Structure 1
């Protein structure tokens, strides 16, 4: 993993919610049900900002 990828990470459900413009409640549901490209590390969620954006762009296309 290069530095660019590591800087692309979004840590925490609330931060992910801001990136995808959803409420924390909606985001927690999407994370728990596996509908977002994210992983749980301990008790925190982590996702690639690039993958989140791509996920929603593909869904809209």
Structure 2
């Protein structure tokens, strides 16, 4: 998607249109339709787990 579309000028003169626009922005923020395709794994912080992971990589070479 082109990033230039986010710089489009929007002109709203009617207060009802402005309120509808704000409501639409709020609704899109509160209910995103995008769902991750795969679960996100938290980063490894345990030193022993990191060592085991690095040891597996070295053994494969």
Choose between structure 1 and 2: higher strand proportion: 1
Establish whether TM, by shorter chain, passes 0.5: no
TM-score by length of 2: 0.24
Question: Rg: which structure is higher?
Answer: 2
TM-score by length of 1: 0.24
